[in-house]
Amino acid sequence: MTQLNNAFTLFLSLLVEAMPFLLLGVLLSSVLLLFIDEQKLIARLPKNPLLGALVGSMVGFLFPVCECGNVPVARRLLMQGVPTPVAIGFLLAAPTVNPIVIWATWTAFRDQPEIVVLRIALSLIIATIVGWVFSVQKDLKPLLQPAIAKSWEYNFSPTQDFKKSTQASPLLQSGTFLLNQPGQMVRMDATVLQASLAATAPTKPLSDRLRLLVDNTIQELRELGAVLVFGSAIAAFIQVAVPREVILNLGYGPVTSIIAMMLLAAVVSICSTVDSFFALSFSSTFTSGSLLAFLIFGPMIDLKAIGLMLSIFKPKAVIYLFALAAQLTFLFTLFINLQII
C-alpha cells in the first residue's frame, strides 16, 4: 500500500512539474506554427547537405517542440519538399535544441552548466552527422511508409477540403508535384497540424487564426498530455519497483552507466521538456557521460517516438536512425566519461 501511494505521489509530482512545460511548449509551437510562413522558411534553407543538416538541427529554435511534436512537423517539412538532411536534422535535434528544453535543462542542472552546454552541442553534432549521412539517399521514397508516399501523391490536389481529398480516388497522378503554390493546401493525414496548416493561409482573419490557435493547443495538449501520463506512470513504477541499488550498481562503470542510461531513456520515454528533471534524480550517482547519454539519446529515440516515427518511415529507416544515433551518443559520452573530450 505504501509502495502504491509512493508510486502515485511520484507520478503526480512528475506530472505536476511537467504540465506547465508541456503547456508552454504547446502554446509556443501553436503560435509559431500559425504565424510563421513556412514557405518562406523552406525557400531560404541551404541546399548543401552538411549545411542543410546543421540548419535543420537548429530549426528547433523556431518550432520548440518536444519529441512528441517534432514528428508531425518533420513529416510536414518532408512533404513540403524540404531536403532530407534538413528534415532528419530537425527530427533528431528539435526536441533538444530549442529554447524551452534548454531553459528546463538549465533549471535542473544549474549547478552543472557543462551538462547544459554539452547536451546542446552534442545533440547538434549528432543530428547533423545523421542528417548528413541520410543525404546520401537522394530519393527518400523507398524509406518512407507506403501510405505516406501515396498520400504524398494525391495530397497535392488543389483542394483544402479534408473530406473531399479523402474521398478522392487515390489514383496515381503524374510525377510532377505542385509545390509552394500560393494558397494551396497539403492535407496531413495525421493530424493535429491540419488546423494550423489551414491557418497559415494568408486570407484568414485574425479571429479565425486565434480560434485555430486554441484548437491546435487543445489537440496537442490532449495528445502529448496522454503520452506524458504514460511516460510518468512508467517512470514512477520503475522508481518504486526497482530498488535504487540495482540501478546505482550499473551507474559506476564508464561503459555500463552509459548503456544503462540509454536503455532507461528509451524505455521511460519521458518528454524532452521534462527529462532533465528526471535525470536530476540520478545525477548523484551516475557519471556525467551517462547523464548526457540520457539527455541526448532520449529525445532522439524512445519507445513512444519510435511509434510516431513509424508513421513516417519504414522500419528499416527507423533502425538506421536508431543505430546511428545510438552509436554516436555512446561514443561521444564515452569520450566524456574517459575524459578524452
Partner 1 sequence: MIGGKFKRKQAKLSPSQAKSRAWFFTWLDVLAIGAWGILMLRYWLTGKLNLLIHPDYFWLVISGGIGLLIIASSKAWQLLRQRRSSKGAIVQHVTLFPPGMSSSLLLITAIMGLTFTPRVFASQTALDRGVTDSLGATRAQPQAFRSARNPEERSLLDWVRTLNVYPEPDAYAGQRAKVQGFVIHPPELPPDYILISRFVITCCAADAYPVGLPVKLSTSRQAYPPDTWLEVEGTMATDTLVGKRQLTIQATSLKPIAEPENPYEY
By CB under 8 A, name the binding residues for partner 1.
2-3, 5-6, 8-10, 12-17, 19-21, 23-24, 27, 107-108, 111-112, 147, 162, 166, 189-192, 194-195, 211, 214-215, 217-219, 221-223, 225-226, 229, 235-236, 239, 243-245, 277-278, 280-281, 283-285, 308, 311
Least distance from partner 1 to the Cβ atom of residue 314, Å:
13
Between residues 96 and 105, which has the closer beta carbon with respect to partner 1? 105
Q: Give me the helices (H) in the chain, please.
A: 2-35, 38-43, 49-58, 70-79, 84-93, 99-108, 113-134, 146-155, 162-167, 193-199, 206-241, 244-250, 256-268, 275-280, 288-300, 303-309, 315-337
- Nearest-approach distance from CB 129 to partner 1, in angstroms: 29
Please spell the DSSP secondary structure of 166-227, one letter per residue: HHS--PPPPS----S-TT-----TT-THHHHHHHTSTTS-HHHHHHHHHHHHHHHHHHHHHH
Shortest Å distance, C-beta 2 to partner 1: 6
Residue among 38 and 275 whose Cβ is closer to partner 1: 275
Q: How far is CA 37 from CA 79, 177, 198, in A?
A: 16, 20, 12
Q: How far is the CB of 24 from partner 1 (least distance, A)?
A: 8
When the beta carbons of 45 and 236 are compared against partner 1, the nearer one is 236
Round to whole Å and give the CA distance between 334 and 341. Answer: 9
Closest CB to partner 1 among 77 and 227? 227
Buried/exposed code over 261-270 (b: 16+ C-beta within 10 A; e: otherwise):
bbebbbebbb
Tell me the C-alpha to C-alpha distance, in Å, between residue 206 and each of 35, 57, 226.
10, 31, 30
Nearest distance from residue 321's CB to partner 1, in Å?
19
Cell of 273: 521538456
Nearer to partner 1, 21 or 132 (CB): 21
Q: In angstroms, what is the minimal distance from the CB of 87 to partner 1?
A: 20
Q: How far is the CB of 199 from partner 1 (least distance, A)?
A: 11
Q: Which is nearer to partner 1, 46 or 225 (CB)?
A: 225
Nearer to partner 1, 166 or 327 (CB): 166
Instruction: Please name which of 136, 139, 132, 140 lies closest in space to residue 50, comparing C-alpha atoms.
Output: 132
The DSSP code for 160 is -
